[in-house]
Amino acid sequence: MTRILAVANQKGGVAKTTTVASLGAALADLDASVLVVDLDPQGCLTFSLGHNPDELEASVHDVLLGDEEIADVLLDTGDKVTLLPATIDLAGAEALLLMRPGREYALKRALAEVAEDFDVILIDCPPSLGVLTLNGLTAADQVIVPLQCETLAHRGVGQLMRTVTEVQQITNPGLQLLGAVATLFDARTTHSRDVLSDVADRYGLPVLDPPIPRTVRFAEASASGTSVMQGRKNKGATAYRELAENLWKHWEAGEQVRTSDLS
Ligand code: ADP
Ligand code: MG
């Protein structure tokens, strides 16, 4: 059975891409076969997994528009993870898809063709709530929301919750909101914890365990285009490994996903 997990938050810089890359690598280390999908025209996930978006001939853009078979566009990465890459072409996909019937289902239809080759498919949504994110949420079984633990973390969360509800009502009744992932977490202060419990309470969002601490290693990793999980000893990598185990137990053993007690 294939699990499809969307990582969504229309706010930029909350570690969506880092979460997809790190969870993908950690799940692959647990022997899952993993596909990661870059749905952001910026192509940051594609770049961080070792492929230059400017040099690719075909991408998820062509797949969504029906011009390429998904199987022909998939790329290997250094991480035992398969990538459906994005290029800047995807910036035009919003407008092109808008004119098509069933536009929210384009990714779902494409993934169905390769899903049986993978245990887990992770979708890196763009920083907007447009057609691309709707495609991600429509294709997914579950969604997680990275939340940066800063004062304005709650801004936009209500709008995202409404979008999830609308997708559940219209294009994907089976979509499950699994919870938030606390990112860029600073365990030394109570501030991160207070912000997080406030947002979690306000929106009834469980916070998945563990929080992901802020570490310098992550900033360095994405700058150099290498995986954040290489140099495996840092706190951030360890936290993503624990989160991957948490999710994997939930999927494989049917356990409840473990959540953090913030009180
Ligand atoms: P998004 O995809 O939501 O825009 P990114 O994953 O690109 O966010 O992360 C935004 C920035 O924060 C990147 O420069 C990334 O390297 C950095 N970052 C992400 N997670 C961490 C972390 N745990 N510690 C330090 N920096 C991080
Ligand atoms: Mg991103």
Checking ipTM against 0.90, whether it exceeds it is: yes
The predicted structure's pLDDT at residue 148? 87
Where are the chain's structural domains?
3-252
How does residue 227 score in pLDDT terms, banded at 50, 70 and 90? low
**Residue 181: which residues within 8 A CB-CB, separation 6 or more?**
15, 19, 144, 145, 146, 147, 207, 208, 211, 212, 243
| Ligand 1 environment, Cβ below 6 A | 12-18, 44, 127, 183-184, 212, 214-215, 218-219, 222, 236
Question: Does residue 164 register a pLDDT over 70?
Answer: yes
What's the gap in Å between 49 CA and the centre of ligand 2? 13
Mean pLDDT of 239-251: 97
**Mean pLDDT in the chain?**
91
pLDDT at site 143: 98
- Sheet containing 120-124, strands listed edge to edge, beginning at the edge strand earlier in sequence: 75-76, 81-84, 34-38, 120-124, 3-7, 142-148, 176-183
CA of 253 to the centre of ligand 2 (A): 30
Could you say which ligand is closest to the alpha carbon of residue 235?
A: 1
- What is the tens place of the pLDDT at every residue in 36-58? 999 999 999 999 999 999 999 99
Pairing between β-strand 3-7 and β-strand 142-148 as defined by DSSP bridges: parallel
- What amino acid is encoded at 216 in this protein? V
CA angle 247, 251, 252 (to 5 degrees): 115
- Which residue's CA lies nearest to atom 13 of ligand 1? 219
Q: What is the pLDDT of residue 64?
A: 97
Digit-coded pLDDT (tens) for 118-131: 999 999 999 999 99
Which CATH code fits 3-252?
3.40.50.300
Per the model's pLDDT, the better-predicted residue between 185 and 168 turns out to be: 168
Q: What angle do CA 20, 77, 109 make, to 5 degrees?
A: 65
Whether residue 240 has pLDDT greater than 90: yes
Instruction: Find the range with the poorest average confidence among 10-14, 96-100, 157-161, 229-233.
Output: 229-233
- pTM of the full predicted structure? 0.96
Does the pLDDT at position 225 exceed 60? no
Predicted local confidence at residue 136, as pLDDT: 98
Asked if 241 and 218 touch (Cβ cutoff 8 Å), the reply is no
